[in-house]
Structure 1
Amino acid sequence: MSRALPKYNKRRVAIIGGAAAVALSGAVIAGSALAGTPSKSSGNNARTLAASPGTITCQDVASKLPAIPASAQAEVTRNLTLLQTQIQEANNRLQSTVGQGGPNFVNNAILGPLKDKRVATINRIATAIGRTAAKPTGLDALAPCTLNAAGANTGANKGNGNKGNGNNGNANTGNAGSGAAANTTATGGQAAGAGASAVGTITCPDVASKLPAIPASAQAEVTRNLTLLQTQIQEANNRLQSTVGQGGPNFVQNAILGPLADKRKSTVDRIATAIGRTAAKPTGLDSLAACTLTK
C-alpha cells in the first residue's frame, strides 16, 4: 500500500493538470470569439454615419417663363432638360463625397459650381426667347440651390430611438404603429390617385386619318413615325401625372405641351417627307402638331 500511494498521487496530479489546461484553452477561445464579434450598437452607429447627406433642391425655372415663341421652343426645352441633368449630377456628387472636405465643402465644391452652370443655362433660355419676343428678366435669381438635410437627420434619429429597441414599448405597440402607418399610406395613395385623375389628359389631333394613300416604299417609315407619335403622347401624359403640383400657371404649356408640339412637328414632317419621295408630298400636316390639355 505504501508503494501504491505515490503512483496514485501522480495520476491525480496529471488529471488535475490536464483539466486545468482544457479549461484555460476554452477561456482563450471564448475570449477570442467575443473579441471578434462586433456589437450591435457599433453597427447602428455605422449605419447612422452612412445615412443620406440630404438632397439638393433648386427653384423651378419652367413655371417662371413667359409664353415661349415657337422658334425658341426647341432651344428652351433643351436647356430646361439640362437644368434637370445638372441637379441630378450635383446630387450624385453629394452622395459620392460623403465625409469629404470641411464645413464649406458642399458649398464650395457642389452648390457653387451648380449655381454657375444654372446661371449660364438660364441666360441661354432668356436669350432664345428674346430673339423673337421680349427677353425675360430676373431669371438669374432662380440659379442658387440649397441643401435640404432635415429629412436625413430626422430619419436617423427615429431609426435609433429607444422605442425601436423595445425599451419603452412592446410588440403590440409596434404592431399598432405599423397598422396606423399602413392605413395612412393607403389613404395617401387614394388621395394621390384622385389628384392624378384631376390633372387631366393630353389629347392630340389624329394624323393617320389625315394622310393620303401611302406608297408601299414609304409604308414602313410612316408606320414607325405614327407609332412614335403615340409614344410621345404617352410620355407627355406620364410627365403630366408625375409633376402634379409643380410650377405655376404656365408650367404645363412650357414644360410639357410646348416640347410635345415640337416633337410632333418633327415626326409629322418625317412622315410627309417619306410620302413625298415617291408621291405628292402632303401639306398642312403641321397644323396637327399642337395638343391640348383636357380636364
Structure 2
Amino acid sequence: MSRALPKYNKRRVALIGSATALVLTGAVIAGSALAGESSKSGGDTNARTLASPGTITCPDVASQLPDIPASAQAEVDRNLTLLQTQIDEANKRLVDTVGQGGPNFVQNAILGPLEDKRIATVNRIATAIGRTAEKPQGLDALAPCTLNADGAAGAGEEAGAGEEAGAGDEAEATPSATATDTAGDAGQDTGNAGAGEDAGNAGVGTISCPDVASQLPAIPASAQAEVDRNLALLQTQIDEANTRLVNTVGQGGPNFVQNAILGPLADKRTSTIDRIAISIGRTAEKPQGLNSLAACTLTQ
C-alpha cells in the first residue's frame, strides 16, 4: 500500500520531471541539428568527389579514309595510333588540371592545341596516301574535338582545365614537340610578365620566331608557289598570336602565354613547315630539321 507524498514532495517531483523532459527535448533537437549538418556536409563532399571534368571526343578518321596503298599502310597506321594517343593525353590533362584557368581555358589550352596537332597528323596521313594514290581531301574537317556536357560544367567555365596541350604534350612523330616544351620552360617567366597575371605592369611584349625562308635550300620552280603561300601563312600565324597576346592581357594563370599562345603557335608552325618541306621534296631533296624552327619566344 503506497503512502501519499507530502505536498512539497509532489512539487519537487513535478519540477524534476519537467526539467528532465526539457533536457531530453534539447538533446533530441541538438541531435537532429548535428545529424542534419553531417548529412549536408557529406552530401557536398560526395558531390565534389563525383564531379567529373568530362571527356574529350573526336571524329573518327580511319573510317573516312579511302583505300590505303600498301606502301603507305605503315605510316597511316602509325599516325592513326598517334591520333588516339593525342586524345588520351588531352583527356588526362583535362583531369589533371581541373580548377585551373578561366572561362575559355579548356578551349584555349586543350581543345585548340589538340585540333592543331590533329591537323598536322591528318595531313601526314593524307600526304602518305597521296604519294602513290589520289590524295584524300577535306580530312582537316575531322580535326576539331568537343568536350561532352559533363565536362562543360565540370571543367569548363568554372574549372577551366588546363592550359596546354598547345605546348606539345606528346612528341607528335616530329621533333618539334620537344623543342616547344624546352622553349616553353625557358620562356615562361617572360611570358607571364608579358601577358599573364602581371601583364598590366610589364606590357604584353612581342612574339618572335626563327626565320624559315633563310633556312630553305634552293626551291624548285614547281614548288615555289606553295612554298611562298606557306611562308606567308607563317607570318600570318605570328601576327595572329601577337594580336591574341594583346587581347588576352590579364587572363589565365602563370603559364597562360606558353600554354595558350606559344604552344599552339608552335604546333601550327610545325604543320606549315612540314608542308613546305613536303612541297620541296616532291621534286628535289626534302630539307631536314626545319621543325627546330617552329618554337617561338616572347620578348619584352
TM range (shorter): 0.3 to 0.5
Task: Name the TM-score, length of structure 1 as normaliser.
Answer: 0.40
Bigger CA radius of gyration: 1
Task: Name the TM-score, length of structure 2 as normaliser.
Answer: 0.39
